[in-house]
């Protein structure tokens, strides 16, 4: 049986005994891919050390072996905090104004990709299939090919792929586009992302479309297709069903008394639109004064990438906004926004989602957004809540029954909150049912199986040159 080799910047190593540590979308999704394969998961250890060894630390956990390397302070600064999160992240999320490009960051990004490739190449066997994840590792396949590896190599991009003019404003765009075609299969979240990348390759790299998402670029064949990522539906449902056993959930619900709950759960990131969402909630209370004291908004926002200046600034902006809104609208008996910067485990989140009449998922731009899916799956048929969803989240394509809004329009979001709060049960049910059914069909297992079976094909059919 072929081994699966997964590569991602973050690696979620389970504790000895099998309990997974990280509950993030990528970590859960990748873990799922290993249910059908034995294999290896390679990436950054999460540690920063002076003069790290190029030899990975190997950790065995049953059928999966983990191989992790440390980063030096300079690598961390240039590759992770610099090029990946100050150049690629804002550009991929259409935020040109927040991008900061530097040649040394790009050099660090290329260097770490080369170092990873050298360390990984020593561990890969000829029959392995390799699946690389996310924007930290765009040039990894090109580096591996340079070392002589001929294995099928796939890439999944968890975030949006922007329109060509936006992507090409990145000074390193040409090199990155050239490098990415060394992947045999490129998976993106939506059809729109696929169109963006394909058109860019056709226009700037003289790629020749061969049909079915395949392209010929400089004598190499690659395929670009949409694989919308799903969630662990069964696990999430079960967590929501059992959530009452959880003290935090019970106490939160008791504290609400008769108030209706609006919930938002996001990493503290400008792409998530947390600040804009708070302004929309403020507008809602301004135009619905009778709702003051009757509705509570809980926003759970674990801190993220604090070493990046734009994130530090965002943390200050959001703190200021919460203070301003609570100060001007609240009274001794009611705080409109409860803002929490701690991370909570799945059982707590699932319970709070179920208790919330409205799920607010209003990113300015998002590859998929798994919170939207988790919120829907956590609802029960007896009294489902309403999802207010940004039309700029990839998940909006799979969830047209949600209340779709433009996050740049605080008044539209405020109106959607009002409709959601007043929506009769029959309509809530009619919107929720098709969404939960779709999420159940298109879960994380479906996603991983689709991607991997297509990547497996490259061992045979796809490698052949076209006959006509
Ligand atoms: C997004 C990215 C992931 C990343 C995660 C957390 O979901 O797609 O690749 O791991 O954010 O960000 P961090 O910078 O902490 O890894």
Over residues 237-290, the pLDDT tens digits come to 999 999 989 999 999 999 999 999 999 999 999 999 999 999 999 999 999 999
Q: Note the pLDDT of residue 468.
A: 43
Q: Catalytic residue at 158?
A: yes
Beta bridge pairs of residue 345: none
Query: Ligand 1: distance of its center to the CA of 295 in Å?
Result: 32
Is pLDDT at 18 greater than 60 in this prediction? no
Looking at the CA of residue 133, tell me the nearest atom of ligand 1.
9
Catalytic residue, chosen from 93, 157, 158, 266, is: 158
- What contacts 138, CB < 8 A, 6 or more positions away? 88, 113, 155, 176, 179, 180
Residue ID of nearest Cα to ligand 1 atom 16: 10
Closest by Cα among 388, 385, 432 to 407 = 388
- What contacts 238, CB < 8 A, 6 or more positions away? none
Q: Render pLDDT for 371-419 as a digit per residue (tens, 0 to 9).
A: 999 999 999 999 999 999 999 999 999 999 999 999 999 999 999 999 9
Mean pLDDT of 450-468: 72
Which of 267, 311, 374 most suits a substitution to test ligand 1, by most atoms within 8 Å of the C-beta? 267
SS3 content of the chain, % helix, strand, coil (to 5): 45, 20, 35
Q: Which long-range contacts (CB under 8 A, 24 or more apart) does 220-223 make?
A: 220/181, 220/182, 221/184, 221/462, 221/463, 221/465, 221/466, 222/180, 222/181, 222/182, 222/183, 222/184, 222/185, 222/186, 223/184, 223/185, 223/186, 223/454, 223/462
Is pLDDT at 462 greater than 60 in this prediction? no
Query: Ligand 1: distance of its center to the CA of 183 in Å?
Result: 21
**Mean pLDDT for the chain overall:** 94
User: For strand 153-156 and strand 129-133, is the pairing parallel, antiparallel, or unpaired?
Assistant: parallel
Which percentage of the chain shows pLDDT scores above 70? 96
Q: Render pLDDT for 328-377 as a digit per residue (tens, 0 to 9).
A: 999 999 999 999 999 999 999 999 999 999 999 999 999 999 999 999 99
Q: What CATH class is the domain 233-441?
A: alpha beta
Say what the pTM is. Answer: 0.96
Which percentage of the chain shows pLDDT scores above 90? 90
Q: Which residues contact ligand 1 via a Cβ below 6 A?
A: 10, 24-26, 134, 158-159, 304-305
Q: Any idea where the domains of the chain sit in the sequence?
A: 4-230+445-461, 233-441
Is pLDDT at 32 greater than 80 in this prediction? no
- What contacts 251, CB < 8 A, 6 or more positions away? none
The residue ranking higher by pLDDT, 53 or 31, is: 53
Query: Ligand 1: distance of its center to the CA of 79 in Å?
Result: 14
Fold topology of 4-230+445-461: Rossmann fold (3.40.50)
User: Backbone phi, then psi, for 159, in 5-degree steps?
Assistant: -115, 175
Is pLDDT at 311 greater than 60 in this prediction? yes
Looking at the CA of residue 134, tell me the nearest atom of ligand 1.
9
Q: Catalytic residue at 383?
A: no
Which of 30, 76, 304 most suits a substitution to test ligand 1, by most atoms within 8 Å of the C-beta? 304
Rounded Cα gap, residues 145 and 92, in angstroms: 25
């Amino acid at each position: 049986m072929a081994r699966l080799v997964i590569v991602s910047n973050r690696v979620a190593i389970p504790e000895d005994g099998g309990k997974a540590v990280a509950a993030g979308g990528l970590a859960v999704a990748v873990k799922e891919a290993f249910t059908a394969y034995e294999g290896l998961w390679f990436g950054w250890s999460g540690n920063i050390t002076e003069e790290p060894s190029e030899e990975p630390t190997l950790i065995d956990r049953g059928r999966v072996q983990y191989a992790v390397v440390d980063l030096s302070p300079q690598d961390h600064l240039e590759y992770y905090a610099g090029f990946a999160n100050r150049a690629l992240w804002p550009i991929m999320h259409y935020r040109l104004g927040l991008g900061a490009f530097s040649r040394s960051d790009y050099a660090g990004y290329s260097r770490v990709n080369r170092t990873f490739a050298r360390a990984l190449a020593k561990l890969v066997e000829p029959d392995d299939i390799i699946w690389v994840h996310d924007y930290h590792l765009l040039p990894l396949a090109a580096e591996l090919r340079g070392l002589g590896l001929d294995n099928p190599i796939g890439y999944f991009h968890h975030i949006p792929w922007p329109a060509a003019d936006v992507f090409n404003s990145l000074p390193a765009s040409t090199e990155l586009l050239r490098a990415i075609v060394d992947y045999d299969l490129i998976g993106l979240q939506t059809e729109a992302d696929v169109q963006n990348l394909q058109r860019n390759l056709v226009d700037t790299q003289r790629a020749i479309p061969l049909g079915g998402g395949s392209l010929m670029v400089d004598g190499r064949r690659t395929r670009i297709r949409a694989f919308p990522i799903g969630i662990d539906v069964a696990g999430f449902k079960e967590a929501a069903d059992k959530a009452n056993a959880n003290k935090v959930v019970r106490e939160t619900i008791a504290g609400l008394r008769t108030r209706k709950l609006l919930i938002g759960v996001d990493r503290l990131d400008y792409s998530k639109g947390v600040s804009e969402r708070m302004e929309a909630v403020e507008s809602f209370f301004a135009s619905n004064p009778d709702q003051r004291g009757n509705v509570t908004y809980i926003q759970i926002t674990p801190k993220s990438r604090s070493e990046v200046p734009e994130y530090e600034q965002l943390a200050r902006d959001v703190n200021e906004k919460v203070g301003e809104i609570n100060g001007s609208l609240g009274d001794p008996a009611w705080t409109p926004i409860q803002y929490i910067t701690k991370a909570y485990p799945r059982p707590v989140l699932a319970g709070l989602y179920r208790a919330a009449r409205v799920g607010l998922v209003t990113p300015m731009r998002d590859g998929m957004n798994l919170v939207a899916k988790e919120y829907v799956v956590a609802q029960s048929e007896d009294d489902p809540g309403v999802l207010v969803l940004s039309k700029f989240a990839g998940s909006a394509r799979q969830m047209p029954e949600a209340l779709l809004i433009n996050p740049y329009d605080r008044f539209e979001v405020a109106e959607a909150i009002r409709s959601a709060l007043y929506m009769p049960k029959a309509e809530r049910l009619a919107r929720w049912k098709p969404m939960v059914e779709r999420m159940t069909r298109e879960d994380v297992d479906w996603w991983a199986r689709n991607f991997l079976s297509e990547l497996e094909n490259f061992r045979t059919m796809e490698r052949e040159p076209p006959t006509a």
